[in-house]
Structure 1
């Protein structure tokens, strides 16, 4: 199947090495401003996939992100932020990267080219029909991701994807594809830039909307966040003060007693 990788097309800018720092920064920013609008156009696709994720998680399933390189790292970042932000289990949203944990910091040569490892990685988590797997690949051609999604489709596991090339093999493989067409990068082919930004925005939208739908936000507050440092304890205390209209000492006492903003609010006065 042939298609055009717009993420690999030649940059709209040339002679980058002759630009001043200000010119470089201004031009990069100009390109970056096009990304949110490209994401906006994909909202119907994002909505369809998020609906599937919410339903499966409500039924006890899990969400898996998988990718290679920058795409894999972005999935891991989003997955790793869910427990501290929303107080969910670490095994509810799971990020997988071609090459394993080593690849988070350092590129593992040819790891993304394996047509078997992706499915093997999923099997270590006893993947099942209760789960959802989202492949992330700016190019839409990563074998590690595509082959895993193909296997998931055969096993009646819901699949989605986030890619930046229309008509890519990945977009055709996923049952619920999200395609954000950002066009050529400022540095030709450097998809960690606009494509990476687009993927990050979409991941934020999916996980945040999902957690809100699962009841992990009250009003606009992260009432289930983990109190893992002084900043978050202070934030939690202020949330309780605002919600219950009480002073700081009492709010801090309630937070310490009940261990979370939600529990403190729910148990106040009991």
Structure 2
């Protein structure tokens, strides 16, 4: 560790004797704590903006985005990455989630996986990581060895680094070129950082990927015009998008959508006829 700091995510909960609370009390108290998370995220928007600007610039050059993390943090990165192709119609390798311990760790803990300082770099090398890419380390504590080691190696190899952490002045924030620090304070259950910290990380990941994709032209107006048509609900949604744009009937719009495979292509081809 580069310097001492206070892990507010590990401090005692503001509540005690949880087992003596009624279900209603527990739910209201958890909800009251959760209400503070968006305000903490708001304070970090200037940091988020700097990182997103860099990601957009790099991806316009052909770069990719990588999330690395362990446990809950790793899983949240995988969730965000996995949702980008169906939502925005982008190739699966544009946004990548990597978790300590590999895919087995998505569903259950892999013992000591987060303690290996070398493994993240090895995991990234499988993807032929290069200087056009951006790697974001996710760790509520800001001290996870797997994530720290990965970012340190990226820095040494001229790869842009960012992080999402929930402790001020953590080793991870000091290593990352573009740190995001969302200080949510003690958890309702002491040390259970899957709660407020996890919620904060999810909110920031939503902001990063959504804003990036909008700036890369994957949204028109407020519509996901490149979404994958993977079920009837999405086909119906896409059909209605086309109706709004080119004023045709439902059947014609659906035929265009199925013929051309996306809202964007359907509208473009119709307008160029």
* Common fold: TM-score over 0.5: yes
Alignment of 1:160-239 (within 5 A): 160-239=162-241
Task: Give the alignment partner of residue 151 of structure 1, picking from 153, 163, 166.
Answer: 153
What residue number does 1:33 align with? 35
What residue number does 1:71 align with? 73
SS at match of 2:31: helix
TM-score normalised by the chain length of structure 1: 0.99
What residue number does 2:102 align with? 100
1:88 to 2:90 alignment: yes
Q: Deviations over 1:138-166 (max 9, x none)?
A: 00000000011001001110000000000
Tell me the CA shift for residue 244 of structure 1.
1.5
What residue number does 1:56 align with? 58
Distance 1:26 1:151 in 2: 44
Distance 1:40 1:47 in 2: 11
What residue number does 1:265 align with? 267
Distance 1:148 1:258 in 2: 42
SS at match of 1:138: coil
Distance 1:95 1:7 in 2: 23
Runs of 5+ consecutive residues of structure 2 not aligned to the other structure:
none
The structure 1 segments of at least 4 consecutive aligned residues displaced by more than 2 Å after TM superposition are none
Tell me the CA shift for residue 63 of structure 1.
0.3
Q: What is the aligned-residue RMSD (CA, Å)? A: 0.6
Runs of 5+ consecutive residues of structure 1 not aligned to the other structure:
none
What residue number does 1:18 align with? 20
Distance 1:77 1:198 in 2: 14
Tell me the CA shift for residue 247 of structure 1.
1.4
What residue number does 2:49 align with? 47
Alignment of 1:243-254 (within 5 A): 243-254=245-256
Tell me the CA shift for residue 245 of structure 1.
1.9
What residue number does 2:115 align with? 113
Tell me the CA shift for residue 256 of structure 1.
1.1
Tell me the CA shift for residue 170 of structure 1.
0.2
Tell me the CA shift for residue 234 of structure 1.
0.8
TM-score normalised by the chain length of structure 2: 0.98
